[in-house]
Amino acid sequence: MGPRAWVLSLAAAAAIALAVVLVVSLTGGDEPGRATEVAIGHIYSTDAGDPIDVFFEPAEQGSGCMTFLSAGIFYGGSNVSCFDLASVDEGGTYRLVLPRYAEDPAVLVGVMPAGATGATASGIGRKPARAETRGRWFLVSLESADPSVLDLETLDVDFDY
């Protein structure tokens, strides 16, 4: 191998090493790709017509927290929900945000399991509804249903694959 071939081989090896370092640093190193699977930041916005604002930020290693803020309709309860990202991949996670008044819509927001493409929610005295999805995130407004024993079942979320 001549000097020119040796220099080209060295340059190619350096380029490959640089590419590997960039990929590992952008994905966090421990779990390749996880940072890009669940979007971070302002996910839903009342300014864009969504019923609540939802923010997501990474927390401790392998977990993250959703924060909810509402405008217009008063939603009670805690406005922060944290979860483990590994468990989300397997079964998803969601949080039901109930309004102060039963005639107002409840909001269900969460992250779909890996591979899911959509979600439908029903139960708790609410009409079944299809969720709006943004990447792996989903949000659904659950309107009140006419009182019926059938509508008082527990919350059920079905994911499409």
- Dihedral sign, CA of 126, 128, 133, 137? positive
Query: CA-based angle 75:56:96, to the nearest 5?
Result: 35
**Lookup: tokens for 80:** 């922060």
Q: Is 86 helix (H, G, I), strand (E, B) or coil?
A: helix
Q: What pLDDT sits at residue 41?
A: 86
pLDDT at 18: 33
pLDDT at 31: 43
Per-residue pLDDT of the chain (161 residues; tens, 9 = 90+): 565 544 334 333 333 333 333 333 333 434 444 434 788 889 988 888 888 889 999 888 888 999 888 766 666 666 888 998 888 888 899 988 888 777 788 889 999 999 999 999 987 778 889 999 999 999 999 888 776 555 556 888 999 99
Token pair recorded at residue 84:
């483990």
**The predicted structure's pLDDT at residue 69:** 80
Cα torsion 145, 124, 103, 144 to 10°: value is -30
Q: Are 97 and 75 in contact (CB under 8 A)?
A: yes
